[in-house]
Amino acid sequence: MDNLQRIGHVEPQRVLEPLTDAAWGYRRKGRFSVRFVEKKGKAVVGFRETNPRFVADLSTCHTVLPEIGARIPELAALVDSLDGKRTLPQIEFIAGEQGVALVFRHLEPMGEADRGRLVEFAKASGFAVYLQPGGIDTVHALWPEQVDLSFALPAWDLHLAFRPLDFIQVNAGLNDKMIPRALELLDPQPGDRVLDLFCGLGNFTLPLARKAGTVVGVEGDAGLVARARENAARNGLANVEFHAADLAKDLAGEPWMKAGFDKLLLDPPRAGAAEVLAQLPLKGIRRIVYVSCHPGSLARDAGFLVRERGYTLVAAGAMDMFPQTAHVESIALFEKKGA
The Cβ of residue 338 has, within 10 Å, a number of other Cβ atoms equal to 5
Per DSSP, helices labelled H in 156-215 are: 172-186, 205-209
Query: In Å, how far are 12, 223, 224, 287, 312 from 270, measured between CA atoms?
Result: 21, 20, 18, 22, 23
Strand pairing partners for 43? Answer: 36
The Cβ of residue 320 has, within 10 Å, a number of other Cβ atoms equal to 19
Contact predicate 149/230, CB 8 Å: no
Active site residues: 293
Question: Which residue type, as a one-letter code, is found at position 130?
Answer: Y
How far, in Å, CA of 207 to CA of 219, rounded?
16
How far, in Å, CA of 212 to CA of 209, rounded?
5
